[in-house]
Amino acid sequence: MKHSRALRLLSVLAAGALLTACVSSRDTKSELAVPQSVPLSDLAGVTLQVGDQKGGTESLLRAAGELDNVPYRVQFSTFTSGPPQVEAATAGKIDFAVTGNTPPIFGAAAGAKIRVVSAYSNEAGGDQILVPADSAIHSVADLRGKKVLAGKGSSAHGHLLLQLQKANLTVKDIQLVFLQPADAFTALSQGQADAWAIWDPYTALAQKQLKVRTLVTAEGVSNGYGFGIASVAALQDAKRNAALADFVQRVARASAWAKAHPQQWYEKYAAAIGIDPAVAQVAQSRSLRLAIPISDEVVASEQQLADAFAQSGQIDHKPTFSHFVDNRFGDVLSPFWNTAK
């Protein structure tokens, strides 16, 4: 794949409306009643609006055959990253999306009208901080005073914050510039930045197309979690709630299929988003998210990340993450949970 094609692809991957939602900053526990059960046979008139990041949920479900024979309609919308998905759910534009570990924290801090209804995990190897191959930066401590790019409220933002803390630095010690992936890719390629905190598949694309090297990965530093977030409105609607109960099972089942059939998944993933199969394999071999329970350990880890964001001044107050968790789908998801250490 040529450099110019990679830039065009990144522009497509980063396409999507950035929706601004007016939400309250209050962080109060609000239990949502579970609507009366509705059989799947009654969902023919339902359209589930699902937020996606290109190369994410839709391509996985389609590759695994999980979009076949769905008893309701699924309509996907593409977003640049997790934060605008959270905003869209709050605004009633989407019913569900899978995000990284940081967007729900920013949503919680803003009083977003969402709940975390499913969880996923990997080893976080695809979340990396990249620097030019010939850079004099060889440790996170060397980032002091340097221009570092990241997507605001993304998992990369969280990873960067934790790496800075580990190196006894704060965000005030660097020049933090918030850019979405396509713009960050261009800036780094043109020598306009010193480092880029990013996630797959952008990490793998940059490693293939740019002269970069890995400064650090998120392994052992960030928790590697992803979350399925649902809008409060959808959870309170009996038919959409029933559709969501079915849909989250399809996502979990598709991830399990991809793990069991890696080569088939890599090929279908590459074709779906138009990238080199070798890049697809690198990205998905380290960044496939498998379903896990929303356990006390998961909630505690997210609370620690929320605390770190609040202490750093990156969010205006410390939210209580557990207030935004709804485990109503736990029973139907439990057969798919990956509990291997």
pLDDT for 179 beyond 80? yes
pLDDT for 227 beyond 50? yes
Question: Are residue 234 and residue 326 in the same domain, yes or no?
Answer: yes
Question: Are residue 235 and residue 322 in the same domain, yes or no?
Answer: yes
Question: Are residue 168 and residue 290 in the same domain, yes or no?
Answer: no
Question: Are residue 102 and residue 235 in the same domain, yes or no?
Answer: yes
Q: Any alpha helices (H) in 229-295, and if so which ranges?
A: 232-236, 238-260, 262-273, 277-287
Cα distance between residue 71 and residue 153, in whole Å: 34
pLDDT band at residue 55 using 50, 70 and 90 as cut-offs: low
Residue 183 lies in a domain: yes
Residue 32 is predicted with a pLDDT of 92
pTM tops 0.85, yes or no? yes
Residue 141 lies in a domain: yes
Report the CATH number that the domain containing residue 192 is assigned in CATH.
3.40.190.10
Cα distance between residue 236 and residue 32, in whole Å: 7
Question: Are residue 133 and residue 228 in the same domain, yes or no?
Answer: no
Total tally of structural domains belonging to the chain: 2
Residue 1 exposed, middle or buried by CB count within 10 Å (0-12, 13-18, 19+): middle
Say if residues 101 and 308 touch (Cβ distance below 8 Å): no
Residue 71 lies in a domain: yes
Residue 250 lies in a domain: yes
pLDDT for 27 beyond 80? no
pLDDT for 16 beyond 70? no
Question: Are residue 117 and residue 232 in the same domain, yes or no?
Answer: yes
Most confident of 29-43, 45-59, 322-336: 322-336
pLDDT for 80 beyond 80? yes
Q: What is the mean pLDDT of the chain?
A: 91
Question: Are residue 274 and residue 313 in the same domain, yes or no?
Answer: yes
Question: Are residue 104 and residue 183 in the same domain, yes or no?
Answer: no
Q: Is the dihedral of CA 41, 47, 51, 53 positive or negative?
A: positive
| Token code pair at residue 163 | 């790496």
Question: Are residue 57 and residue 192 in the same domain, yes or no?
Answer: no
Residue 25 is predicted with a pLDDT of 45
pLDDT for 148 beyond 80? yes
The residue out of 217, 252, 275 marking a domain boundary is 217
The residue out of 153, 182, 217 marking a domain boundary is 217
Residue 172 lies in a domain: yes
H/E run at residue 175? strand 175-178
pLDDT for 24 beyond 70? no
Q: What is the pLDDT of residues 104-133, one digit of tens each?
A: 999 999 999 999 999 999 999 999 999 999
Task: Residue 249: give the domain boundaries.
Answer: 3-9+33-121+224-336
Question: Are residue 51 and residue 151 in the same domain, yes or no?
Answer: no
Question: Are residue 203 and residue 237 in the same domain, yes or no?
Answer: no
Q: What is the pLDDT of residues 272-297, one digit of tens each?
A: 989 999 999 999 999 999 999 999 99
